[in-house]
Amino acid sequence: MLKDIVQTSTKDFKSWLPGIFSSTPVISGNYRFYVVSSCSYLIGLLIHLLFIPMFWFFGVTIMTLYNVVSITAFAIAYILNRKTYHNLALIIAATEISIHASLAVYSIGWHGGFFVYLLALVPLVFFNPVWGYGIKIGLSTFFTVLYIGLKVYSNSHAPLIELSADYLTFSYYINSAFVFVLLAYLSYFYSLAANQAESALQQSYDEIQILAKTDPLTRLANRRGTIDAIDKEVSRFNRTNIEFAIILADIDNFKKFNDHFGHDCGDFVLITVANTIKHVLRDNDHIGRWGGEEFLILLPETRHDGAQYVAEKIRRTLSDKTLTFRNTESKISMTFGISIYNGCESVATCINNADKNLYKGKQRGKNCVIPMTV
């Protein structure tokens, strides 16, 4: 596992160096990082602007002058980030913070609290969507080592300038407050990003589920989607004890459309039939493509007479329709087999009965409705 991490880090590092100076377009995948980093650079600029009078008041000239450099660095980082050089901007900001923390510990000691800014770099680095995990872990390790190194150094070396305990306490509280504000800001955007990613994942899952249950040609439910609809209707029957009807319908002589006019015509017929049946059915009825040119119609809370009426209405509507495909007119008809689910038999048996009645209709000359009693 350690070997894999090292190999990944090496690979990321080789691709990382050239990428520092390349422009990264602001797209949906990194727009949030662009906003977060831009605001972070502005906040960093303002914080260092406040440090100038504070260090001047403390009498720490070296830090007063360096904060002028810090302001310049954050201004450059902000401009580069606006020009889509996100990686270079982050490297400049991270370098400035590292030097600033080191110089502050050297100048006034550990208790001034300037080391805490290193903590804010870790989440910002991990928020970068472009860098690989090898680079992110490597930079975070560097900040950790620097953090510990500064602490070790401060334990064995006196600061350049000895400030009073009150000044150091004030500095520590100010720096801690600034860092907590930065971390709260970054956490807020992390939360937004996580929620957005979760919503996108759920949306993708829902879309996949719909596609898995939808016939791509007719946009009707496929066999899987239709079985789910039947299962729901069986559950409702178990609660209400109200029967429902299953109708199997098959396009008569469908093969001739494919043989004479091509599969495009066959597809056109299937789409036309599907749309026609949908317009006849109620909103709570269900139609699915059962297979090939066969459709299954599910009529909730419908007994035999109602099912026969609906099937006849569909049959007449299709028989009266004239299809025009590439300037050629054709007639279309369907044969229907009806079965009623009343709980006495399984759903599979009910569908099988509808299929038997459909077969009887084909034997009787097609273009007809065969009820359950036949």
Quick one: three-class SS letters along the chain?
CHHHHHHHHHHHHHHHHHHHCCCCCCCCCCHHHHHHHHHHHHHHHHHHHHHHHHHHHHCCHHHHHHHHHHHHHHHHHHHHHHCCCHHHHHHHHHHHHHHHHHHHHHHHCHHHCHHHHHHHHHHHHHCCCCCCHHHHHHHHHHHHHHHHHHHHHHHHCCCCCCCCHHHHHHHHHHHHHHHHHHHHHHHHHHHHHHHHHHHHHHHHHHHHHHHHCECCCCCCECHHHHHHHHHHHHHHHHHHCCCEEEEEEEECCHHHHHHHHCHHHHHHHHHHHHHHHHHHCCCCCEEEEEECCEEEEEECCCCHHHHHHHHHHHHHHHHCCEEEECCEEEECCEEEEEEEECCCCCHHHHHHHHHHHHHHHHHCCCCCEECCCC
- 11 inside domain: yes
Total domains in the fold of the chain? 2
pLDDT value at residue 25: 57
The reply to whether 244 falls in a domain is: yes
Do 276 and 347 lie in a common domain? yes
Of 175, 206, 237, which marks where a domain is finished? 206
Residue 48, domain member (yes or no): yes
User: Of 181, 206, 231, at which residue does a domain stop?
Assistant: 206
Task: Please indicate, yes or no, if residue 281 is contained in any of the structural domains.
Answer: yes
The answer as to whether 212 is a domain residue is: no
pLDDT at 327: 84
**190 plus 234 within the same structural domain:** no
State whether 47 and 177 are in the same domain.
Answer: yes
| pLDDT tens by residue, 235-285 | 999 999 999 999 999 999 999 998 888 889 999 999 999 999 999 999 999
**Looking at residue 49, what is its pLDDT?**
95
| Residues 236 and 309 occupy one common structural domain | yes
pLDDT of residue 374: 46
- The last residue of a domain, from among 206, 235, 267: 206
- Please tell me the predicted confidence (pLDDT) of residue 337: 96
Cβ distance 114 to 101 under 8 Å? yes
| Catalytic residue from among 96, 233, 293, 294 | 293
Low-confidence ranges of the chain (pLDDT < 50): 1-3, 5-10, 12-14, 16-18, 26, 374
Q: Is 293 a catalytic residue?
A: yes
The boundaries of the domain holding residue 366 are: 223-370
Answer yes or no: do 169 and 253 share one domain.
no
For the domain that residue 338 is a member of, what is the CATH number?
Answer: 3.30.70.270
Summarize pLDDT for 75-105 with one digit per residue, the tens.
Answer: 999 999 988 888 889 999 999 999 999 999 9
Same domain as 299, residue 202: no
The reply to whether 229 and 176 lie within a common domain is: no
Residue 109 shares a structural domain with residue 150? yes
pTM of the model: 0.57
In a domain, residue 214? The reply is no
Q: Within this chain, do residues 87 and 166 fall inside the same structural domain, yes or no?
A: yes
Residues 33, 86: contact at Cβ < 8 Å? yes
Task: State whether 172 and 252 are in the same domain.
Answer: no
Same domain, 174 and 283: no
142 and 237 in a common domain: no
User: Is 287 a member of any domain?
Assistant: yes
Does 182 map to a domain? Answer: yes
